[in-house]
């Protein structure tokens, strides 16, 4: 069912559960895993000219750290990439270019804490991605994994 899964990460705490769920699915289906971090071009472009290279480097370093965290969490080889561009478009293009069966991501990222239901990047990816998108929300502090009773849910 799933041969290739792309995990889109921004290194935020809210993507941790999406990573865990995605790696579990990859294990169940013996799927290849690609982990993608997008350096948001708009963040780079909005910084002062004299700081753009530093901003790009800092965001790329953050991306490498985020990819490293997923590599450590995985018990398999994963393909990683840091790409600069508009996140939603890059994620969709990457999924298409790598013949992905699914993209997985958190519902809120570094800038999405003020969004009510779903982060703007996740929303755009869901609307425009050429492959199915699994969005995984971070549990609230008072919620337990597995549903209201605390027992694992089965699908």
Domain ranges of the chain: 4-124
Q: d(Cα 2, Cα 140) in Å, to the nearest integer?
A: 29
DSSP E strands: which ranges in 12-132? 32-40, 79-85, 102-106
Q: Is the pLDDT of residue 39 over 60?
A: yes
**Which CATH fold would you assign to the domain 4-124?**
Rossmann fold (3.40.50)
Nearest to 44 by CA among 52, 54, 36, 34: 52
CA distances from 29 to 23, 24, 56, 95, 129 (A): 10, 9, 36, 18, 22
Q: What percentage of the chain reaches a pLDDT higher than 70?
A: 81
Going by DSSP bridges, is the β-strand pair 133-136/102-106 parallel, antiparallel, or unpaired? Answer: parallel
pLDDT, position 120: 85
Q: Is the pLDDT of residue 4 over 60?
A: yes
pLDDT, position 104: 96
CA distances from 98 to 3, 113, 120, 126 (A): 11, 30, 24, 18
């Amino acid at each position: 069912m799933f041969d290739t899964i792309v995990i889109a990460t921004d290194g935020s705490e809210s993507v941790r559960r999406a990573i865990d769920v995605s790696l579990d699915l990859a294990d169940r289906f013996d799927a290849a895993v690609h982990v993608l971090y997008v350096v948001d071009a708009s963040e780079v472009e909005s910084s002062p000219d004299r700081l753009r290279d530093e901003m790009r480097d800092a965001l790329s370093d953050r991306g490498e750290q985020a990819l490293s965290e997923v590599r450590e969490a995985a018990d398999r080889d994963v393909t990683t990439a840091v790409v600069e561009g508009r996140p939603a478009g890059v994620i969709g293009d990457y999924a298409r270019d790598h013949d992905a069966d699914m993209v997985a991501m958190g519902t809120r990222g570094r800038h999405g804490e003020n969004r009510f239901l779903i982060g703007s990047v996740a929303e755009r990816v869901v609307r425009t991605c050429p492959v199915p998108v699994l969005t995984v929300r971070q549990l609230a502090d008072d919620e337990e994994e597995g549903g209201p009773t605390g027992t694992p849910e089965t699908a």
